[in-house]
Chains A and B, each alone.
Chain A
């Protein structure tokens, strides 16, 4: 696991200060979507090898949600973005 995360607000911090809150690439289905779509959204997760987008919360620091792009194979961290900024950029 990536052991150092560069928080955009707090700087370089050890991973112990963060809590991983799951996949950040999921898109919430429409309220009227089928049960299958909701089931997939709530329960079904991939276990990718390579680059992933994840929500990390900096609980031991600024307590903001961050979107961390990291590689599950090489442990490399490619980018860390504030969750609100990420949502704005992606029009969520």
Chain B
């Protein structure tokens, strides 16, 4: 079983990178039907491989696997791809794929390189804990997507300010759509984070989790992120929050989110390590 896990772990970043490359070819102007077909096939292959990887981990662990930081990164990669696929199906605009899937591929490469071969079962295994993990992963993925679309918005806006009408101008979705996706992804992240955060705090109180404190750096940063992305989600009704400022905020939120996740890797900083 471990051999299978190792094979899939190695193949997964390759699958994501290949998909990103095929999207990059489309971005550069190659939209021939065979390329479009390979792009779709490659994306579904990557998603299927990822599902197989988690199924194998669950089978080895004998239940819902405990997610170490690298497995969290891997599950965030999978969720980002799922959310992005939903966005593209709805908007019929897959041109951001090169960048979004490129970042996903990079995250998965790190997860594959540093992650464990096998995972333990989540203990204690209960519905609240599973829900806390799942909502937190979805929140992180939505916030990553919001940050990435914010980055794309800034890229296009800068190009348009500089009066450069190259591939970024021609291929990316329009400014309004990028801004809307940034806000909507932030809203999804905000809602999932509301659920994940409350379930987590509830569990911490109910189960008297050792080391839990509201002053814990990860808790503080997560609450800050919750407020931050809440503002981004409703930025269109807040005077003075221009689309550009919202995008900068989303990008800053993404960097903070990465810092928050990385915190768990350093011993002694957070109870969540």
- Do they bind each other? no
List residues of chain B with CB under 8 Å of any chain A CB: none
List residues of chain A with CB under 8 Å of any chain B CB: none
